[in-house]
Structure 1
C-alpha cells in the first residue's frame, strides 16, 4: 500500500522529544522524509534518527535554537536541500516559562515570544521559497489560547493566542498559492513538559474523558492536516483536548 505521505518532505521544529518527536515518528511512518530541529538534546536527536532509519525511513536532525532567526532560516534551507524541496512545515518548537505578572522577567517574555511566535513566522517565510502548491503548514498551539485555567500562564497563553491568530492571517495570504495553514491545539498531554505523574491528579478531573492525552494523539491530528483528506481545511484551530474545553 502507498503511504499517505510517500514522496513528501517535512520539517518539524522542536522535534527531538515530546509531542515533536511523536510528530516526527508519525510523519515518517506515513512515508515522509522528515527533518527536525532541536536545541540541545544531541543524544535524543541521534536516537530518533536511528530509530526512523532502522525502520526504513529517512530522517535528518538539525541543531537550531528557535530563538535565533538565522538558525531557523538555515535549518529550513538545509532540510529543503537535503530532500529536494519541502512539502510540509510543522512549527512545533515551544517553551513554557510560567510566572505571575508582577514578577515576570522581560527577558523570559522576550524569549518565549521569540521561540513560540517569531520562530514560526520566520520558518514560514523561509519555507515559502521551497514550497509549491499543495504545501501544508501546521503550528502547534494550545488550548490555553481559549482557556487559561491557571494563574501564572498569561505570557504562554498570549503566545498561543498569537499563533492561532497568525495562522488565520497566513491562511488568507497563502490560500491563493494553494498552501494550507492550520493550528493544532493540544490539551493537557502527558509529556516531559507536563508529566502525568506531576499534573495528572489536578488536570484529569477537568477532562471529559478523565485522562491526559498521549503525544501520539496530537501527532495523529498533525498527520491528518498533512494528508490528502485535509486539502480543504485551512485557517482552522483544531483542538485535541479530551474535552478539556467542553
Structure 2
C-alpha cells in the first residue's frame, strides 16, 4: 500500500510510524486531528490489533474518535483520563522553538486542551511545515457565534498594534454556511503573513471577549518528528536539545490505510 503513496503522504506516514514508538502499554494517549494524525491513529490501531498493545485514546475531535474506534482503540474522554501520558498530533506550521500554528482542521480548542493536559506533546509533520517565522499559514481563532462580526472587527483593530504583516480576518466556511466546530463555535482565519511576537499575540487574542481560543501553541510541544518522502525521519527534542536522524523502510501492509481520509 505504501508503495502507492505520494512523496508527501510517505513523509506523513514515516513520521507517524516513528511517533508510535513513544507509546507504551497502559498509556493514556491524546489522539490528534488531521491528515497526518490520522496516519498515527491507524498505526496505533495496527499495534493494538496485531501486537496486543493496551492503550486508551483521548481523541481531539469527533472524527478522530470515530477513526480510533474503527481501528480498535479504546476511546475515553479527557474527564475519564484526568491526565494524559503523551499526545501525538500534527501541525500546520512550526518554528525553530517548536512553537506551532494548529487548527487547520478546525479542532484547535480540544487539541490545545488535550495537549496541555499531557506529560509530553509530540508533533508529527512533513518537512514543508517548518518555517522561520510563524504566520504564513492563516491563524485560526475560535469565536462564539454571538456577535462574531463585532469580534472580527475588534480583532482586526487589535492587529494594527501587533507585529504582523497582514490584518485580514475571514470567517471559515463549509460550503455556503459557516464552519461549525465540535463545540458549536465559528472560526476566524487571520491572514497575517508573518507573526513577529507569537507569545504576545496569543495572550492578547485570548483576552478579547468572544474569543474562545487561538491556534498558537506556545511552549507546549516537546518533540517534533519530521518525515521525508524518501523514508528519512528526523526527531528533534527541544528539552534534551537533541536531533536524531533515521530511515524507515516502506513495507507493504494489509491495507493499513484503506479509506483513510484527510
TM-score range, shorter chain: 0.3 to 0.5
TM-score (norm 1): 0.36
TM-score (norm 2): 0.35
Q: Kindly indicate whether structure 1 or structure 2 has the higher relative contact order, using CA contacts under 8 Å at least 6 residues apart.
A: 2
**Structure (1/2) with the larger helix percentage:** 1
| Structure of higher CA gyration radius | 2
**Structure (1/2) with the larger strand percentage:** 2
